[in-house]
Structure 1
Amino acid sequence: MAYPTPVRIESSNDLSNNSSRFDAVILVSPKAQLESYAPIDNALKNAQKVDRRIGNDHVLIHCSEIAGGRLIHAFTGNLDKDYDDVRNFGDAAKAGLQIAKNAGAINPAIIVDQVPQTNDYQHALELAYLGSCQGLWQPLEARQALGEEEIESVKTIGLFDPDSKVDLQYLSAAEAGRRLGRDLCGTEPERMAPIGFANYCVEAFSGSEVKVNVIDDRERFAKDFPLFDAVARASYSVERHHPRIIELEYQSDGPIEKTLMIVGKAVTYDTGGADLKTGGHMAGMSRDKGGGAAVAGFMKTLAEFKPKGIKVVAKIAAVRNSIGTDAYVADEIITGHSGKRVRIGNTDAEGRLAMVDSLSHFRAQAVNEVNPQLFTVATLTGHALLSVGPYTALVENGPARQANLSDHIAQSGDLWGDGCDISRSRREDWDIIRPRTKADDVLSSNNGPSATTKRGHQFPMAFLSLASGLDNHGNNSEKPVPYVHVDIAGSGVESGDWQHDKPTAAPILALAGTYLR
């Protein structure tokens, strides 16, 4: 898995036409000027005399004094509004890098200038690199069919950083994780069915400090992951669709100060099951594995960066929600790993069922870990997309809220261009999933679409908490355990087009910025 290597540029000499290191220079800024380097500043001023786009759009001009003869001004916007943020630099660099690539550059250099002198923009140069990589990524199928060298031709991206402020190891590790996340999420459903998803993870972590264990035994699923096994039931008739639980573990040397326990939803194709998706809503459901993909990507960043003082364990529930004669159906009552009896409300609410047994295992394990924090990461609800748009929705339990856990993640996300919105858990959420008879302990969901359900992305956290037994570890318990449910239905792909747009691998940057920086 190749991606452009970030390279530090310490001297402006590397930007000149005498340099053989780079073949284009991209200035990312709100104004078409660079007072600190006369060749670029003069070229832009001269070009503005004949081209009114310069300073208002992304433009390539010829400049014989610049490396490769290619000078691109990537316009960030004026950055004078309260709602502007560091993503302006990432978006502009992404556009500028595409121009450079189309012009034939394979080793472009990036300069960011006129960066607002506030804490919010401290990672503008890093975001320029990460935004560029997001734009350059091509799907795994395309790379294999057309050749990675051909369609991902950019080899290095130079970052003008004379003060050596950028941590290149961290930046490369973050992009390695995002690339794995995009590959896992964005690849079609047969290639990345549960077995293929698991095999790709095994390959990605081979020789690394992340341990991998793949559970493939149906008897064990029935015993230890019964709700997950119910979702998988209709998939057993096709061998390549058989489910997998992928266990990943990273533990640094030395004393552990914090333990993260993360469950990822990797529904490799979601038909809706017996509550079949209709009206064209099945298209894009191969990306319902985005949560598990992002969890694997975060583990990849850990493997590459090797942080100290942290232990991270993950379980990825890789399963296909198929339709068939053995499909699980609404009204069934299934006892989960926690012992809670779950009445199925809608089989298209399969993600929470796929994850909840793994969450229950972590709940039991957490009380013996150092400073544990639990997460579920999933493309769970259309309601999250409607409610918060292109942002990640964070729904926290009482101990997480008391620790300001979501606040920390959201603040980190803002700094790294991986925005999150925080949602409160309310008593109405628990009312939705309450049992209606003595026959069961919890209802998995209502029987309507989440997008038209009040509090449609908040109440699933209540289900996950109650059905996993985490509700017994609230603020007033002997052993409170912080838990945050992370819904990436709105943030998991660009522009919200789940069939065609590029996966973003959210919330890797928000989590990595919180725990690895």
Structure 2
Amino acid sequence: MDAKRAKMQLVPPPVAKVTPTNDLKDERADCVVFVSDFATPSGLDAVDKAVADADAIDKSATSQFAVVPSAGVAGGRMVLSNTGPVTRDYDDVRRYSDAAQKGVKRALAAGARKPLLVVHYTAKGALQDLFANHIAVAVTGALAQCYVPLEVREDKTAPTWSATTAEELFVYSLDANTAATVAAIEAARSVSRDLCGGDPERMAPPKFAAYVQELFAGSNVKVTVKEKDDFSDEYPLLEAVARCSRVVERHHPRVVNLEYTGEGPIEKTLFFVGKGITYDTGGADIKAGGIMAGMHRDKGGASSVAGFLYLVSLLKPKNIRVVGKLAVVRNSVGADAYVADEIIHSRAGVRVRVGNTDAEGRMVMADVLCEAKEEALHAPSPHIFTMATLTGHAVRAYGDGYFAAMDNGPARAANIASTIAQKGLEWGDPAEISTVRREDFSFVKKTYLTEDVLQANNAASTNTARGHQYPAAFLTIASGLDKHGINSDQPLPYTHLDIAGSTKMWPTPVSGSPIPALAATFLM
């Protein structure tokens, strides 16, 4: 085992130290990574001279992630990393995170281990608010490049990873408070990457729960893990999905509860219900034709909820209580698999007709969401979220890199989805706002006297109109939240986040979305 591997943490995941500096020749650093659109000089003499010298001999130097010599900067060398345009109507701050990530990757390949990130911004006027966090967002990109997967950290036979991570990241003109916040966000995203990216056996439900317990041991977050031979009395819809997995003990389901209570009077209570399908075979409606690969990441919702609670534990916000409920289940296939046409009474007493066993995510969340609803009725200023890599339709509708945010009436009145979308855009973690409409409730209405709601149709979500919106209607009805809309005596704000597109599917590295957007909305 090499020295780097011997020092590598397992849980929580390690994050390169972020060190602010105002010295371009900081002797602790071994390379400068200069991120810019190169439209105007930076005003830093040593940097501008190196750029001019490189441009004089190679006109493509500023667009090819070139490594150029520079006696005036740390390490005597500089990586030039071009953001591309940043002044058009449709440009956003992600150009800085993308460029920083690629620039640091190039620096690491050149042998650097302690790069100094210098970020130059040129846009003025109306764009300044949108790009206000350009340095911090660039740092998140640089740190993301340094993430080492949990399986690699644990594998003593794995090839050396010393060339894929930095020991320390120096950042020019970054204040200490922002440095600490960004490092905490990256730590939270790394937790999400560990959990979501873990293979089906490494992160089978009991091991997923054990990781979470180890993560929060001795912290300000209380962890309770529920494990039973039969969850039918508490979570009957979840148990229907889980029952086929019970023939294999290491695949048995878990429900993990996380709770943080900040100092002072509680003025806001956030409930997050996360979908944690550790592997999705599709069940009896099996994922055929080679589309099952990558389904170990169907636990992205629960993974990001755990990551967000980890961020909360690090930032320690006052006057807020945050509750996470993780439904961690394997959707297996076999003789005891649940099947379409079954009618199951939910925790809320709603008769659910199963339409498709590959729509298991909404099943495992619905009863846990009902439990969150029950608790929210007695909580100060509550807001409930479901978070899930739920539908391929969300990816088809909005593409990779975006999550969909859907409010019920009380949440829409509070502008929750629109606020999350705006804050996410400012922090390089953008959302698209979707609306749950009457058609979505009509889509899941009962088809016969035997049921109250239909779980799903029997076509893929990608082939179904409003395929990522109607599941939010199902969750609302099956959990009993439809009794707490804007016209009720006890309205409860509820927002559904479908993060299938922003989480990233295998083999692209897990993003850790929507942790930055939620952090900017509720913690900053």
Q: TM-score range by the shorter chain?
A: over 0.9
Give 2:179's aligned residue: 168
CA–CA distance in structure 2, aligned partners of residues 191 and 56 of structure 1:
40
2:359 to 346, 349, 359: 349
Deviation at 1:32, TM superposition (A): 7.1
What is the CA-CA distance between 1:33 and the residue it aligns to? 6.2
Q: Secondary structure at the match of 1:49?
A: helix
Given the superposition, is the C-alpha separation of residues 129 and 42 from structure 1 closer, same or farther in structure 2, using an over 3 Å criterion? same
Question: For 1:182, which of 177, 187, 193 is the aligned residue?
Answer: 193
How far, CA to CA, are the matches of 1:79 and 1:144 in structure 2?
Answer: 40
CA deviations on 1:366-392 (whole Å, 9 max, x unpaired) are 111111000000010010000011210
3-state secondary structure, aligned to 2:390: coil
CA distance in 2, matches of 1:102, 1:508: 29
Q: 1:75 aligns with which of 82, 102, 106?
A: 82
Q: CA deviation at 1:142?
A: 2.2
Q: Which residue of 2 aligns with 1:326?
A: 336
Question: Deviation of residue 260 (structure 1)?
Answer: 0.4
Q: Name the counterpart of 1:439.
A: 450
Distance in 2 (CA, whole Å) between partners of 1:193 and 1:228 is: 16
Match of 2:115 in 1: 108
| Deviation of the 1:67 alpha carbon | 1.0
Residue 115 of structure 1 and its aligned partner are, at CA, apart by 4.0
Instruction: Tell me if the contact between 2:32 and 2:118 (Cα under 8 Å) persists in the aligned partners.
Output: yes
Matched-pair contact (CA < 8 Å) for 2:42–2:120: no
Residue 346 of structure 2 corresponds to residue 336 of structure 1? yes
**Map of 2:19 onto structure 1:** 7
Instruction: Give the corresponding residue for 1:491.
Output: 502
Residue 249 of structure 2 is matched in structure 1 by 239
- How many residue pairs align between the two structures? 506
- C-alpha distance in 1, partners of 2:490/2:167? 50
Give the match for residue 25 of structure 1. 32
CA distance in structure 2 between the partners assigned to 1:291 and 1:327 by the alignment: 23
2:151 matched to which residue of 1? 141
What's the offset of the Cα at 1:97? 0.3
Q: CA shift at 1:152, angstroms?
A: 4.4
CA 60–471 in structure 1, closer or farther in 2 if over 3 Å, else same = same
| Separation (CA, whole Å) in 2 of partners of 1:40 and 1:466 | 59
Deviation at 1:34, TM superposition (A): 4.6
The 1:43–1:32 alpha-carbon spacing in structure 2 relative to 1, beyond 3 Å, is farther
**One-letter code of the match for 2:495?**
V
Distance (Å, rounded) in 1 between the aligned partners of 2:343 and 2:465: 24
Q: For 1:255, which of 265, 270, 286 is the aligned residue?
A: 265
SS at match of 1:138: coil
AA partner of residue 301 (structure 1) = L
Deviation for aligned residue 1:396: 1.3
Contact 1:115 1:121 in 2 (8 A): no
> SS of the counterpart of 2:35?
strand
Show the counterpart of 1:463: 474
| Aligned equivalent of 2:8 | none
What's the secondary structure of 1:477's corresponding residue? coil
Q: SS where residue 130 of structure 2 aligns?
A: helix
Q: Is the 8 A contact 2:19 2:170 kept in 1?
A: yes
Structure-2 separation of matches of 1:32 and 1:430: 51
Please give the secondary structure, in 1, of the residue aligned with 2:271.
strand
Answer yes or no: is 1:52 the counterpart of 2:62: no
Displacement after TM superposition at 1:148 (Å):
7.4
Cross-structure match for 2:416 = 405
2:303 pairs with 1:296: no
Do the aligned residues in 2 keep the contact of 1:31 with 1:78 (CA within 8 Å)? no
**Equivalent residue for 1:306?**
316
Task: Confirm or deny: 8 A CA contact 2:279 2:331 kept in the other structure.
Answer: yes
- Gaps (5+ residues) in structure 1? none
Contact 1:57 1:74 in 2 (8 A): yes
CA contact (8 A) 1:32 1:44 kept: no
Deviation at 1:261, TM superposition (A): 0.4
The alpha-carbon deviation at position 80 of structure 1 amounts to: 2.6
Distance 1:367 1:100 in 2: 52
Shift of 1:147: 6.8
Structure 2 counterparts to residues 156-235 of structure 1, below 5 A: 156-161=168-173, 164=175, 167-219=178-230, 221-235=231-245
In structure 2, the partner of 1:451 is 462
Q: Summarize the Cα distance change of 1:306–1:332 in structure 2 as closer, same or farther, 3 Å threshold.
A: same
Q: What residue in structure 1 maps to residue 286 of structure 2?
A: 276
Q: Hey, what's the Cα distance between the residues in 2 that align with 1:454 and 1:130?
A: 36
SS of structure 2 residue aligned to 1:250: strand
Are the structure 2 counterparts of residues 147 and 115 from structure 1 closer, same or farther at C-alpha, using a change threshold of 3 Å?
Answer: farther
**What is the DSSP-based 3-state SS (H/G/I as helix, E as strand, rest coil) of the residue aligned with 1:224?**
coil
Cα gap change, 1:72 to 1:152, in 2 (>3 Å): closer
Instruction: Tell me which amino acid in the other structure corresponds to 2:476.
Output: S
Q: Which AA in structure 2 matches 1:98? A: K
Q: Percent identity?
A: 45
Question: 2-side partners of 1:406 and 1:42: how far apart?
Answer: 46
**How far apart are 1:2 and its partner, in Å?**
1.0
> Counterpart amino acid of 2:108?
K
Per-residue deviation, 1:54: 2.4
Aligned residue identity for 1:153: T
Structure-2 change in CA distance of 1:103 and 1:171 (3 Å): same
Question: Could you tell me how far apart the structure 2 residues matched to 1:215 and 1:423 are?
Answer: 33
User: Cα distance, 1:151 vs. partner?
Assistant: 5.0
Counterparts of 2:238 and 2:295, CA distance in 1: 18
Query: 2-side partners of 1:318 and 1:116: how far apart?
Result: 45
Cα distance per residue 1:469-510 (max 9 Å; x no partner): 0000011000111101100111111xxxx2311011111011
Q: Distance between the aligned counterparts of 2:123 and 2:312, measured in 1?
A: 31
Which residue, 415, 436, 439 being the options, matches 1:428?
439
Alpha-carbon distance in 2 for matches of 1:340, 1:28: 55
Residue range with higher mean Cα deviation, 149-158 or 407-416: 149-158
Q: Cα deviation per residue 1:198-228 (whole Å; 9 max; x = unaligned)?
A: 1111111111111101000124x11101110
AA of the residue aligned to 2:111:
G
Q: Partner amino acid for 1:344?
A: V
Partner-residue secondary structure (3-state), 2:104: helix
Between the aligned partners of 1:478 and 1:97, the Cα distance in structure 2 is 54
TM-score (norm: length of structure 2): 0.94
Within 2, Cα distance between the matches of 1:215 and 1:204? 17
Instruction: Give 3-state SS (helix, strand or coil) of 2:260's partner.
Output: strand
Per the alignment, residue 414 of structure 1 pairs with 425
Letter paired with 2:173: D
Match of 1:94 in 2: 101
Q: How does 1:317-396 map to 2 (within 5 A)?
A: 317-390=327-400, 391-396=402-407
Task: Answer yes or no: is the 8 Å Cα contact 1:473–1:479 preserved in 2.
Answer: yes
Query: Residue type matched to 2:223 in 1?
Result: V
Distance in 2 (alpha carbons) for counterparts of 1:416 and 1:57? 26
Q: Secondary structure at the match of 2:233?
A: helix
SS in structure 2 of the partner of residue 269 of structure 1 = strand
Amino acid at match of 1:139: P
C-alpha contact (below 8 Å) 1:274/1:329 kept by paired residues: yes
**For 1:154, which of 147, 153, 166 is the aligned residue?**
166
